[in-house]
Amino acid sequence: MNAPQRLAAEVRAELENDILPFWLSRMQDPAGGFYGQMDGSGRLVPDAPRGGILCARILWTFSAAYRVLGKAEYLDAARNAFVQIRDRFFDRQFGGIYWSLNADGTPLDTKKQFYAIAFAVYGCAEYFRATGEEEALELAIKLWRSIEGHSLDLEKGGYIEACTRDWKPIADMRLSEKDRNDAKTMNTHLHILEGYTGLYRVWKDETLRRRLTDLCEIFMVRIVRPDGHLGLFFDEDWRSQSDMVSFGHDIEASWLLCETAELLEDEALLRRVRECCGRIATASLEGLQPDGSMIYEGTPPASFDTDRHWWVQAETVVGCLNQGWTDRAIRCWEYIKSHLIAPDGEWYWSADAEGHPNTRDDRAGFWKCPYHNGRMCLEILTTYSRG
């Protein structure tokens, strides 16, 4: 067994014996859906609000796990998440999905954040891919049309961040309190690209294809900076509003963009995207540490958050493998095993520069999900476990 095959065996064990069982046994609500939070010490918060992003990411993860591994319990969990998206989060009056629900399933925050809607497209498309259930594809297409109808900037290109429930302008467009309140962001564009790619994989619509091509161009022309890093925040005219660098998003984008271009089967576009992704990935290495981990973000030259976030490490493994940097990927996996996998289930939110785990932030919650680490495992399994 060579090193990549050993890696595949180890991540399969992590996926099947830790990540997925944690969500199956500790986060599923017997009354339906998934609980909204488990704190950093492992204490369940059953009455916490339930986020649309979390549910959509759970839907994607268990759908993909069922497609790859075929276990019935994964299908049951995916179905559970899909029913919540369809029956609770989907706004039957105005379309799109709600940002959050109360624990009893009633709407809480009804704003329309296009980042969240894109994840619902991603999850529903993957559920259709895994099961062939037409209602999932129909819902994914409805959600895609909501984004196209209310977020697409036909004049200046790209997609705006958010609207009110009934698609009116909204004053606060931020994804979270840490973000800037700007009209367009790299993060939303990256995950619209991701969701649209998942949908195009199962629905070869020509308009969708053009939008994916446009998104690749937006990244290459508007978002990727001359130094290879991604710009993060922009006004409506695509003027950059921040010098901050996000190493995790750099390495994540470096493989997601390639995935999209490969699916589009446009050789000229693919050559350009691959060259661009190589520059992005190389720029991300400025955040790579001698122990194999990747720091979070910062504003060069001196202000950095050096915590090692769980999702950044997962994306570093996949991004390095995509560039053929197998040794770097394996070193990051070794860091994950030593510092981030919690002994009582799932991964810690982060570790500090000295390797101490963060038990303050959620083990599971609005932003803490099985999608980054679960997808890392599935990407490795589908690439390296053959033969």
Query: Per residue in 228-248, pLDDT tens?
Result: 999 999 999 999 999 999 999
Instruction: Quickly state the pLDDT bin for 385 (edges 50, 70, 90).
Output: low
Give Cα separations from 231 to 89, 116, 271 (angstroms). 31, 21, 22
Q: Where are the beta strands (DSSP E) in 26-156?
A: 50-51, 100-101, 107-109, 112-113
Q: What is the pLDDT of residue 145?
A: 98
Burial of residue 353 (CB within 10 Å: 0-12, 13-18, 19+) is middle
Query: Per residue in 44-90, pLDDT tens?
Result: 999 999 999 999 999 999 999 999 999 999 999 999 999 999 999 99
- Provide the token pair at 372: 């980054």
Q: Which of 317, 301, 371, 283 is nearest to 20 (CA)?
A: 371
Amino acid at residue number 30 = P
Q: What is the pLDDT of residue 302?
A: 85
Alpha-carbon distance of 150 to 169, in angstroms, equals 10
pLDDT over 60 (residue 114): yes
| Residue 159, strand partner residues | 152
What letter would DSSP give residue 323?
T
For residue 153, the SS3 value is coil
Query: Per residue in 273-285, pLDDT tens?
Result: 999 999 999 999 9
Alpha-carbon distance of 39 to 29, in angstroms, equals 16
Q: What is the pLDDT of residue 387?
A: 37
| Residue 338, strand partner residues | none
| Residue 347, strand partner residues | 341
CA 265 to chain centre: 23
Alpha-carbon distance of 193 to 202, in angstroms, equals 15
Q: What is the mean pLDDT of residues 366-382?
A: 97
Whether 313 and 332 have beta carbons less than 8 Å apart is answered as yes
Give start and end residues of each alpha helix (H) in 15-103: 20-26, 52-69, 72-84
Q: Where are the beta strands (DSSP E) in the chain?
A: 50-51, 100-101, 107-109, 112-113, 162-163, 184-185, 233-234, 245-246, 297-299, 303-305, 308-309, 350-351
φ and ψ of 79, to 5 deg: -60, -40
Q: How many residues does the chain have?
A: 387
Instruction: Quickly state the pLDDT bin for 288 (edges 50, 70, 90).
Output: very high
For residue 2, the SS3 value is coil
Alpha-carbon distance of 191 to 50, in angstroms, equals 20
**Mean pLDDT computed over every residue of the chain:** 97
Percent of the chain at pLDDT exceeding 70: 99
Q: Which of 89, 85, 92, 115 is nearest to 100 (CA)?
A: 89
Domains and CATH numbers, the chain: 3-384 (1.50.10.10)
Instruction: Quickly state the pLDDT bin for 152 (edges 50, 70, 90).
Output: very high
Contacts of 6 (CB under 8 A, 6+ apart): none
pLDDT over 60 (residue 194): yes
φ and ψ of 36, to 5 deg: -90, -15
